[in-house]
Amino acid sequence: MPLIGDDAPSFRARTTLGMVDFPDDYRGKWVIFFSHPGDFTPVCTTEFVRFASMQQEFKELNAELLGLSVDSNQSHIAWLEAIREKVVYKGLKNVDVMFPVIEDLSLEVSKKYGMIHPHSNYTPDELLEKFERSGGKLDFQQFSTETVRATFLIDPQAKIRAMFYYPFSNGRNMDEIKRLLQAMQKSDSEHVYTPENWHPGEDVIVPNPPTWVGAKERQQQAKEDKKCNPWFLCLKEDEQE
């Protein structure tokens, strides 16, 4: 399973929009790469409607959406057609999903990204019962091979910058994914940090100095700067805004 800062594992896969060669097809762009447990499932349907409705917002942030599940391409296409023709959710209807969804019947891509969590659809009591029935020898083949709700934010250099994992029963917060993307882009472009729940236009954090000399200078600055008190928490206005 890749970690933050690792190179995003490469792959070539069939999707609803043709073949994808990752990361080469996405060089210079951010990628929101996410998995869902299965087609024609309710939580996944709400997520796809929401992702599709936000696709242009992500494009404006130089970010592309890329989905995956272990279903076949034919199943993906049938499901996306049903979403467009039949689903009405939070006032959104006739939503056309125009980002690629990967077919991963072999689990090759899912395993590279640690998207398969065999125990994820079972309660602790159910797992204990299976363990006892097996005599203490669990066969992972008897567990689900569905992907969990994994999300990877991958930067233009194909480095993994953030990861989210949600359980089968609960949908993702799409606004948080967008907010974190904007925060990381702000940090990259201006060499600043962002405080909790930061949104564009709000104050950002000036990184602390790495030396004792710098710390003393910052302490002196804190005596005069209302946004820099105490010295180890210095804020400044969002310059672009």
Q: What is the CATH number of the domain that holds 61?
A: 3.40.30.10
Confidence of residue 176 (pLDDT cuts 50, 70, 90): very high
The verdict on 208 and 96 lying in the same domain is no
Contacts 24+ apart (CB under 8 A), 210-217: none
Confidence of residue 210 (pLDDT cuts 50, 70, 90): confident
* Domain limits for position 213: 191-241
Whether the predicted pLDDT of 1 surpasses 90: no
Core vs surface per residue 1-15: b (16+ CB within 10 A) or e: ebeeeeebbebebbb
**14-23, 185-194, 228-237, range with the lowest pLDDT:** 228-237
Whether the predicted pLDDT of 149 surpasses 80: yes
Residue 5 lies in a domain: no
The verdict on 171 and 195 lying in the same domain is no
Q: Does residue 234 contact residue 215 with C-beta atoms inside 8 Å?
A: no
Confidence of residue 144 (pLDDT cuts 50, 70, 90): low
Residue where a domain terminates, one of 151, 181, 211 = 181
The verdict on 146 and 206 lying in the same domain is no
The verdict on 130 and 64 lying in the same domain is yes
Residue where a domain terminates, one of 161, 181, 201 = 181
Q: Percentage of the chain surpassing pLDDT 70?
A: 87
Q: Does residue 66 contact residue 20 with C-beta atoms inside 8 Å?
A: yes
The binding site for substrate comprises 149
Three-state SS at 195: coil
The verdict on 169 and 219 lying in the same domain is no
Whether the predicted pLDDT of 125 surpasses 70: no
The verdict on 201 and 175 lying in the same domain is no
Q: Catalytic amino acids?
A: 44
Whether the predicted pLDDT of 122 surpasses 60: no
The verdict on 42 and 126 lying in the same domain is yes
The verdict on 175 and 226 lying in the same domain is no
The binding site comprises 149
What does the pLDDT average to over 163-189?
95
What does the pLDDT average to over 110-137?
65
